Amino acid sequence: MSKEEMLKVFSDPEHPYHESSIPDTIDLREVADRLLKEKTLVEELINGLPEIFFLTNAARKFLRWNKNLEVVTGYSAEEIANMHLLDFFDVEEKERLTTKMHEAFGCGKTSTEVHMTLKNGCRIPYFFTTSHILLNNEPHLVGTGLDITERYEIEELLRKLSGAVEQSSSSIAITDREGMIEYVNTGFLNMTGYALDEVIGRYMNNSMTVLPSPEPDCKSWQSFAASEKWPLELSNKRKSGELFWESVSVSPIKNIDEITTHYLIIREDITSRKNAQRELLKNRAELVIQHEKLKHLFGQVEKSKKEWENTLDCIDDIVILVDTEDRIRRYNKALHGLIGTSHPDVAGSNWHELLSSQCLQMPSPCEEGTEIHHTPSGKWFVFNSYPFTNSSAEEISGAVITLHDTTEVKRFTRELEKAYSELKATQAKIVQQEKMASIGQLAAGVAHEINNPMGFISSNLNTLGKYFDRLNDFIKFQSEMVETLLDNDAVEELRQKRKALKLDYILEDGMDLIKESLDGAERVRTIVSNMKSFSRVDQAEQKYADINDCITSTINIAWNELKYKTNLVKELGHIPLTWCNPQQLNQVFMNLLVNAAQAIVDHGDITVKSWHENDCIYTSISDTGCGMPPEVINRIFEPFFTTKEVGKGTGLGLSITYDIIKNHKGEITVVSNPGKGTTFTVRLPVIEAELRAK
């Protein structure tokens, strides 16, 4: 602190360091220490705020902020120091926040609701308050941000509640203070038989009947609505004249000043309940008799001090009553069940030392809800402590210690967590499979639609080629006939004109263009055929298929992913047909090929092989990519495990691949060397007609 600042502090009579409260001899080091402590206290208070707190300069660069800004946004302090305040918002929010901050510099303070974008991409609604302050005669901006996600959720809940009220089977109406109906739900119309335009604007009397005339009875209605004890059972009439019983509750709706502005009327049709009331009265009399017996029984319990001990001895939880010095005063039999009969009397012992001596891992301090493990039995207990009050002196005279056995609960919890994880993985796999099926169906539909126009394009090109051949023959014949009829000058002039018009080049190039177009059409047909083969929507069930065909069609579909960064080598051997699901195998080869391409950083080789050996079909896909360490190889087939960046992989591809191969009674293995590459090998048994019949 500078000398000028210290003088300013000492001149403030409200400050604890004012000269009137300072001794003649001032220890500047002590003053500096106290100021440092106050600074530390202020920083701790700011960091302890639930809101985001920040201070920026006029250029909106961060100068100070609390720890909550780092926790909420996910950015480190070093990152925030180099960031702009508007970096936390998208374009729309930036414009709105910029306008509000200009208002803050104009009027001193403003507030707005914006969605702040976190480092992970999430958008969270916040209520920002910004104020313009001057520090060292320079403008600064100080602001706070409060998470209003809960308020947004409450608003959504209110919308749902509004829908629930409208769809409720109960009759709900809202009137003003004079009893004029302002709102009714469908349940009201169904119960009374009135139409909506017959009740809105009309008044309701003390019998909950809609008045035919628009004249209100304000005093009578307000007295009735405010003085009755609700709910009230009334006999009423529907519009048709039919009598019915209803249960009515009237509640005042008050404004912020606690002044009643409206009344909420909830009515339930209780006709069937009233019809059964006599039976209920009989049962009620029996319940009164039983209640009197229980009352007498509770009186005996109150008089008997010993009964509570017998009751506690019947439960499995350990219950110990200790005094203020942690000495055991009373306990139940469950304690002996834990420590054994070697301790016939534990009264007067220190409860903490006793439990610790029995291999109970007692933490210190032992807080409520702490889980404690008993090593010899393998059981788990939950520790709780309750203050025990002396009823005569009304002061705490000890505590009740309880140890609740949660061993079975923990076991069931682990089993439920495991089952939930398996269910979650299965659900994700089903969604992935449905997605692949939808993609296949779309590919088949596109292929079908492309085939139709490509048919007549190819046909027209073939016909056009024939026309060009005939036209070329005619032009040659015509030229020969003209040369025999004209003189040499005319013939030469005709030749020059033909050369100038480049008819020979046009005829020759036209035929080349037709051939290239036919070749392009044939390539489109091949692509369409591969798409249909890959989708196999009409062949989704198992059938006899050639694995090489599956590999070829999958390569063609994935070629756009492979061609820019890989050299693809195919070594497909002669293999027999086998009974399989071609669509699922296409998915397997697609996952392996795409993973191989993504494992290659710049450019590399992918080798695809197939061969037949020992009544099995083998397929291997090798790449020269980055490879995998052993700890990764051991987990690659686990659901949701991925080595890719967040958002670039689901972790389900190889898990689904593994399941498909297992369902085909096959096996998939992987060999990988970090920095050299990876090879996946798939083995599928050859299933022939005789084996399938068995």
**pLDDT tens column, 474-497:** 777 777 777 777 777 777 777 787
As given in the structure block, the two tokens for residue 522 are 């044939």
- State pLDDT tens for residues 71-91: 888 898 888 888 888 888 888
Tens-place pLDDT, residues 170-213? 888 888 888 888 888 888 888 888 888 888 888 877 667 776 65
Query: For residue 618, is pLDDT > 90?
Result: yes
Fold identical between 168-269 and 541-693?
A: no
Residue 645 pLDDT level (bands cut at 50, 70, 90):
low
CATH class given for the domain over 541-693: alpha beta
307-405 to CATH, choices 3.40.50.10420, 3.30.450.20, 2.160.10.10, 3.40.50.300: 3.30.450.20
Quote the mean pLDDT of the chain: 77
Rounded to an integer, the average pLDDT of 257-283 is 83
The answer to whether 618 and 685 have CB atoms below 8 angstroms apart is no
DSSP per-residue letters across 373-438: EETTTTEEEEEEEEEEEETTTTEEEEEEEEEEE-HHHHHHHHHHHHHHHHHHHHHHHHHHHHHHHH
How much is the pLDDT for 611? 94
Amino acid at 265: I
Q: HSE (CB half, 13 Å, CA atoms) of 649?
A: 17
Listed by start position, the domains of the chain span 3-151, 168-269, 307-405, 428-530, 541-693
Cα 486 from Cα 6, distance rounded (Å): 120
More confident residue, 538 or 177: 177
**31 pLDDT more than 70:** yes
* 271 in Cβ contact with 300 (< 8 Å): no
Is the dihedral angle over the CA atoms 166, 170, 176, 181 positive or is it negative? positive
User: Considering only CA atoms, which of 610, 617, 630 is closest in space to residue 688?
Assistant: 617
The pLDDT value given to residue 188 = 87
Q: Residue 610's pLDDT band (boundaries 50, 70, 90)? A: very high
DSSP letter, residue 180: B
Give percent of the chain above pLDDT 90: 5
Q: How confident is the model at residue 576 (pLDDT cuts 50, 70, 90)?
A: very high
Question: Which H or E element spans position 171?
Answer: strand 171-176
* Selection from 267, 252, 229 nearest residue 177 by Cα: 252
- What is the homologous superfamily of the domain 3-151 according to CATH? PAS domain (3.30.450.20)
User: Could you tell me the pLDDT band of residue 506, with boundaries at 50, 70 and 90?
Assistant: confident
- The band of 448, judged by pLDDT with boundaries at 50, 70 and 90, is low
Residues 29/6, Cβ–Cβ less than 8 Å: no
Given CATH 3.30.450.20, say whether it is the number of domain 168-269: yes
pTM as predicted? 0.33
